Amino acid sequence: MANKDHYTYRVTWSGEDQEYIGLCAEFPSLSWLDESPQTALAGIMQVVAEVVADMEKNGEKAPDPFAERTFSGRFMVRVPPDTHRALAIKAAEAGTSLNRIISEKLAR
């Protein structure tokens, strides 16, 4: 049984709607609009709780929260050969690894 409090929530301002919007990364199709950020968060958390309960009632597995997933720290990215070469040169000039250069760029 998934714990709704462990999901990844975010509240942001929606210029289009002129309200705060509550979002959940594990359920990208769900949202909740409200005038206050606190109520937008409470709203999306309630919607997620209802969806998870409905999924479990129907024998469906709710997604695992990102906070409870295990990540290896490895993933493959394809880039154009010229980009690969430029990054390899930058790493060599910096006296570091290609992985370190890319990791630093991704973290920005």
Q: What's the pLDDT tens digit per position in 56-93?
A: 999 999 999 999 999 999 989 999 999 999 999 999 99
Residue 9 has φ and ψ, to the nearest 5°, of -105, 150
| CATH assignment of the domain containing 24 | 3.30.160
Residue-number span of the structural domain to which 89 is assigned = 71-107
Tell me, what DSSP letter sits at residue 35?
S
Q: Kindly state whether residues 103 and 54 are assigned to the same domain.
A: no
Per-residue pLDDT band for 97 (boundaries 50, 70, 90) equals very high
Q: Kindly state whether residues 82 and 43 are assigned to the same domain.
A: no
Q: Kindly state whether residues 19 and 37 are assigned to the same domain.
A: yes
Q: Kindly state whether residues 34 and 82 are assigned to the same domain.
A: no
| Overall domain count for the chain | 2
